[in-house]
Amino acid sequence: MSDVALVCGGGGALGTAIVEALLRRGDRVVAVDRTGGAAPPGVRHEALDLTSPEELSALWERLSAEDEIPRWVVNAAGGFRGGTVADSEPDAVQFMADLNLGTAWWSCREASRHLPSGGAVVNVGARAAVAGGSGSAAYSVAKAGVARLTQVLAAELAERRVRVNAILPSLIDTPANRASMPADALRNAVAPADIASVVAFLLSDAAAAITGAIVPVYGFA
């Protein structure tokens, strides 16, 4: 029987590409986002609030009861809001923390409780986690937390032989970015499918020796 892959944030441009990559290799995919919606063939679509630990716990309980425990988990939920430390407002900082770090944290908590030996997690961070510049303070700090969460959880789950890695995209070639940015700025943007192929590799037995890695997927930017 094929493995179950849980993709949190599966409705976004990158999340959709990851879902498609995992489907192509034969996984049974559970795609999670806030709105739900029509799922492509072979995908189970779940709508829930990924910032809610209670809703994530309930999802894993349902999957367990149906003998659908994932072997692979991807945490791709997130979003960007600009701002400096000086001009930050509490609500905006909390929003960035919940959306980028909180979603990964609560999903990783459930994965750490349920994943079988030989399973793997891939968290989606951002280049800003290690090269944050002016104008993205709360986002950069939250994504840095995702990178550190990845390393901590990799150490915690090593004895169980569960791998935990992260990728750090930079600029992604998405419809939203094409609509809002000049063509010159997108010259070195990376296609979602190319990033998804890295995720699929890390969620495979071919990457059995890789855990605790923070993998840049910047392309030539």
Instruction: Point out the residues that are catalytic.
Output: 139
CB 75 within 8 A of CB 12: no
DSSP conformation class of 9:
T
CB 129 within 8 A of CB 108: no
Secondary structure class of 81 (helix, strand, coil): coil
Instruction: Give the chain's radius of gyration (CA, Å).
Output: 17
Strand pairing partners for 21? none
Q: How far is 8 from 184, CA to CA, in rounded Å?
A: 31
Q: Residue 208, Cα to own-chain centre: how many angstroms?
A: 19
Reading phi first (left if > 0) and then psi (alpha if -120 to 50, else beta), residue 173 is in beta
Return the residue matching tokens 């049974």: 28
CB 117 within 8 A of CB 162: yes
Pure H helices in the chain: 13-24, 53-65, 90-96, 103-114, 128-131, 137-157, 175-180, 192-202
